[in-house]
A and B are shown apart, each in its own frame.
Chain A
Amino acid sequence: MEVILSHYYDIASVILFGIGFFTLLLHRNLIKKIIGLNIMDTSIFLFLASKGYIFGRVAPIVSEGATNAELYINPVPSGLVLTGIVVSVSVSAFLLALAQRLYKKYKTINLDEIIVLAKKEEE
């Protein structure tokens, strides 16, 4: 119980990762797949950001020459999260563009139906 209480960020992010992962893997609706991707990535960002935060400290913005490292949180995970967000936005945009293209062509966003239609078209 104590472990659960002290690691609730980790547990939340793992649960969210699972939800996002299975939505991305199993859902047939392309838009929901993309939502799943974003949930999955966000859960990792939650994990990283929570690991970088140290309770009772502030963001490492040095003012008035205060350079005591004891006052600040670890800024590296925040930097990683920013990079991760950029990556996540670009792949979401790419997926959305592909989904739009398929919708224009086949008038559906159900991946199974699209595969059937594409196979028919090939033959």
Chain B
Amino acid sequence: MPFVYNVPFFSIILCMVGGIVTPFFRNRRLTQIVNACLVAAVFAMSLTLFIILLSAEDSFTYMMGHFPAPWGNELRAGPLEALMAMVFSAIMLLSLVGGMRGINDDIRPTRIPLYYTMMNFLLSSMLALIYTNDMFTAYVFIEINTICACSIVMAKDSGMTVVATIRYLIMSLLGSGFFLFGVSILYTITGHLLMSNVQQSVIALAESGQYTVPLVTSLGLMVLGLAIKSALYPFHSWLPNAHGSSTTASSAILSGLVLKGYIILLVKMCYRVFTPEIMASLHITEVMFVLGVLGMIMGSVKALRETHIKRMIAYSSVAQIGYIFMGMGLGTTVGIMAACFHILAHAFTKPMLFLSANGLVDVSGHQYEMKALRGAARRDILSGIGFTVGALSMIGIPLFAGFAPKIFLGIGSMESNFHMIVTFLALALSTLLNALYYVPAVVAFWSKPKQPQAQVQEAGGAVLHREMPKRSVFLLSSIGVFIVLNFVLGIAYGPIMQMITTGLNLLG
């Protein structure tokens, strides 16, 4: 076995050890440095794994402990998993570095090591969701992910965040309950928990036509559970508060990564537990398609009516999750490829939007309302550029990251007329709606403040700092890296799509 095959296990265990060790640090600076090094190490390992697996077009299963296939626990990695792990650790690092000042301001100093503990466990559980080959392990790590995600919401210790946390936790637990029931039913009809063994049984069941009702129930419950946790449209009610009220780094990571961890598990289930054909024959993809389309439109409509900048960005996440589910609901390979690409595009864009919004809010006297932010981009140029790039990418302008997935969604929908008409209409309408709330925001940020500063002060009712707060080098550099990555994703989408295709082919 090549040594590089140990990478998935090493990166999961490294984050866990980091999480256990971090609370013993008393020094905030040391905590932050150690944490950054850990995440960077995970990134470097995943990058190596990705390059090796991609060039060899290789995938492997890794035995945990010494029990062979039907009994033991396994990890599984291919180019797609390695790519996702690499992207997740990179965005985690950028968000934590960029949101560092927010963390220092919002969280009590004694709690900061605990916050990083939760971040470490969060990364480790997301990596485990990406790499796992076992349904029950997936459930356990879903729960760990839930607990960590909720605690990073409540790290900013105000009444509103605790309320947001409890609502988030309740919805998440409903989702976990569904998922666990689904896994239980799947176990009782197949007798296995490892994905590859379950798949053999499921294919046999589907061919013989036995147990169709339990199979549909189990798949439906699992998809429903994951959909609740990734805030698909009718189940999104927890998202705006949880993402809008927490500290910047938490918002960025929750929107950019936590929602996607569950979706990647769903993609993996789609290929490794069921097959895309079985998913389509059980009509689950159609439900996902309809809910995805609804989410694309309703998320944008809700965002249009929002005046709180962070809640607006949070509602935009609901719309983007709709895109991803619609791609998976098309039931074609190109559709799932587009969904995977959109996971990347959204993961690179949304944290940047949250970080830039934080920069803009900082120079406007910590006001979150849109009207108080008028002209903010003139005061903090790089944050302004970051927000503009993010907004254009979310609208789907060519050269930006959000453009390519829309094209591929269009291509993926062409196999059936019904899908094609609905997809094109939904894409057009959703692009229009995105433009309707992002463009006025961008224009307002860059235009001259209409009223003198003093009046803004009175209208906001808060004290505006006369002198500019010192700009954070970390925030600026992380926004800069995000902008560059956004252009890379938007211009070089051909090769990246090629990598995703290779990964998906090896996943099956």
Q: Is the CB of A94 within 8 A of B147?
A: yes
**Least CB separation from A33: chain B residue:** B170
Asked if B493 is at the interface of the complex by the 8 Å CB criterion, the answer is no
Distance of B371 from chain A, by nearest CB (Å): 16
Residues of A within 8 A of B177 (CB): 17, 20-21, 24, 37, 40-41, 44
Residues of B within 8 A of A21 (CB): 174, 177
Residues of A within 8 A of B176 (CB): 91
| Interface residue ranges of A89-123 to B (CB < 8 Å) | 90-91, 94-95, 98-99, 101-102, 105-106, 111, 114-115, 117-119, 121-122
Q: Is the CB of A91 within 8 A of B159?
A: no
Q: How many A-B residue pairs have CB under 8 A?
A: 88
Given contacts A90-B147, A91-B143, A94-B150, A24 and B184 within 8 Å (CB-CB):
no
Of A25, A30, A41, A119, the residue contacting B166 (CB under 8 A) is: A30
Given contacts A87-B143, A98-B154, A44 and B174 within 8 Å (CB-CB):
no
| Interface residue ranges of A30-85 to B (CB < 8 Å) | 30, 33, 37, 40-41, 44, 47-48, 51, 76-77, 80, 83-84
Residues of B within 8 A of A102 (CB): 159, 162-163, 166
Residues of B within 8 A of A115 (CB): 163
Q: Is the CB of B160 within 8 A of A122?
A: yes
Residues of B within 8 A of A84 (CB): 180
Q: Is the CB of B184 within 8 A of A47?
A: yes
A40 to B172 CA separation, bound complex (whole angstroms): 13
**Least CB separation from B165: chain A residue:** A98
Distance of B461 from chain A, by nearest CB (Å): 10
**Least CB separation from B164: chain A residue:** A118
Asked if B169 is at the interface of the complex by the 8 Å CB criterion, the answer is yes
A40 to B188 CA separation, bound complex (whole angstroms): 19
**B179-206 near A? 1/0 per residue, CB < 8 Å:** 0110010011000010000000000000
Q: Is the CB of B173 within 8 A of A37?
A: yes
A102 to B164 CA separation, bound complex (whole angstroms): 11
Q: Is the CB of B159 within 8 A of A117?
A: yes
Residues of A within 8 A of B180 (CB): 41, 44, 84
Residues of B within 8 A of A122 (CB): 158-160
Q: Is the CB of A83 within 8 A of B159?
A: no
Asked if B146 is at the interface of the complex by the 8 Å CB criterion, the answer is yes
Residues of A within 8 A of B166 (CB): 30, 95, 98-99, 102, 111
Given contacts A83-B136, A98-B169, A114 and B163 within 8 Å (CB-CB):
yes
Residues of A within 8 A of B139 (CB): 87
Of B143, B159, B181, the residue contacting A47 (CB under 8 A) is: B181
Residues of B within 8 A of A80 (CB): 136, 184, 187
Number of chain B residues whose Cβ lies closer than 8 Å to a Cβ of chain A? 29
A100 to B415 CA separation, bound complex (whole angstroms): 54
A95 to B173 CA separation, bound complex (whole angstroms): 10
A83 to B89 CA separation, bound complex (whole angstroms): 28
Distance of B179 from chain A, by nearest CB (Å): 10
Q: Is the CB of A48 within 8 A of B147?
A: no
A40 to B174 CA separation, bound complex (whole angstroms): 9
Q: Is the CB of A24 within 8 A of B187?
A: no
Given contacts A98-B154, A98-B162, A91 and B187 within 8 Å (CB-CB):
no
Contact residue range for chain A? Answer: 35 or more
Residues of A within 8 A of B187 (CB): 48, 51, 76-77, 80
Asked if B140 is at the interface of the complex by the 8 Å CB criterion, the answer is yes
A105 to B158 CA separation, bound complex (whole angstroms): 10
Q: Is the CB of A94 within 8 A of B169?
A: yes
Q: Is the CB of B136 within 8 A of A91?
A: no
Distance of B72 from chain A, by nearest CB (Å): 12
A30 to B166 CA separation, bound complex (whole angstroms): 9
Residues of B within 8 A of A111 (CB): 163, 166-167
Residue with the greatest number of chain A CB neighbours at <10 A, chosen from B167, B184, B193: B184
Distance of B460 from chain A, by nearest CB (Å): 12
Residues of B within 8 A of A24 (CB): 170, 173-174, 177
Distance of A112 from chain B, by nearest CB (Å): 11
A111 to B184 CA separation, bound complex (whole angstroms): 32
Residues of B within 8 A of A114 (CB): 163
**Least CB separation from A50: chain B residue:** B188
A121 to B161 CA separation, bound complex (whole angstroms): 12
A113 to B131 CA separation, bound complex (whole angstroms): 42
Q: Is the CB of A118 within 8 A of B160?
A: yes
Residues of B within 8 A of A117 (CB): 159
A40 to B187 CA separation, bound complex (whole angstroms): 19
Q: Is the CB of A25 within 8 A of B174?
A: yes
**Least CB separation from A74: chain B residue:** B191
Residues of A within 8 A of B184 (CB): 44, 47-48, 51, 77, 80
Distance of A66 from chain B, by nearest CB (Å): 20
Q: Is the CB of B160 within 8 A of A91?
A: no
Of B159, B167, B181, the residue contacting A106 (CB under 8 A) is: B159
A121 to B158 CA separation, bound complex (whole angstroms): 10
Give B residues with C-beta under 8 Å from A: 136, 139-140, 143, 146-147, 150-151, 154, 158-160, 162-163, 165-167, 169-170, 173-174, 176-177, 180-181, 184, 187-188, 193
9 A-B contacts (beta carbon < 8 Å): A33-B170, A37-B173, A48-B187, A80-B187, A94-B169, A102-B162, A114-B163, A121-B160, A122-B159
Besides A20-B177, A83-B136, A118-B163, 12 other A-B contacts (C-beta < 8 A): A21-B174, A47-B184, A48-B187, A98-B154, A102-B162, A102-B166, A111-B167, A114-B163, A118-B160, A122-B158, A122-B159, A122-B160
